[in-house]
Amino acid sequence: MSLPRTFHPDPEAEPYRIDQQSAFRVKSDFRVDFTNGGYVEARDFLLDIEGDTVTPERLAEMIVSAMNLLRAGPVTIFSMAVVRRGEHQDSTPA
């Protein structure tokens, strides 16, 4: 998988659900462009995942859902890495 890549998340995708018991998280850098102008970027953004893998396409959908970005357009994933809970700075559940 070569990054960065840009995705157009499916508006009908399964919503993201927080799982504070998850053993794994995905840590990513991304940019979401809005359909009405502007954008939001994040670095080292953490999301809980089921299992120990996630596709970049699903990550783009999870980002839009987790942040409730109603006017989201393309999502560019610059980097992503699966980490075990406790192997990064934010190791304590909220």
Supply the range of the domain harboring residue 21: 5-84
The pLDDT assigned to 56 comes to 97
Residue 57 lies in a domain: yes
Residue 73 lies in a domain: yes
Q: Model pTM? A: 0.89
Residue 90 lies in a domain: no
Residue 92 lies in a domain: no
Residue 19 lies in a domain: yes
* DSSP code per residue over the chain: --SSEEE---TTSPPP---TT-SEEEEEEEEEEETTS-EEEEEEEEEEESTT---HHHHHHHHHHHTT-TTEEEEEEEEEEEEETTSSS--S--
Residue 60 lies in a domain: yes
Mean pLDDT, each 10-residue run in order, the chain (94 residues): 93 94 96 97 96 96 96 97 81 55
Contact of 88 with 59, CB cutoff 8 Å: no
Residue 15 lies in a domain: yes
Query: How many Å apart are CA 1 and CA 61, to the nearest integer?
Result: 17
Into how many domains does the chain fold? Answer: 1
Residue 40 lies in a domain: yes
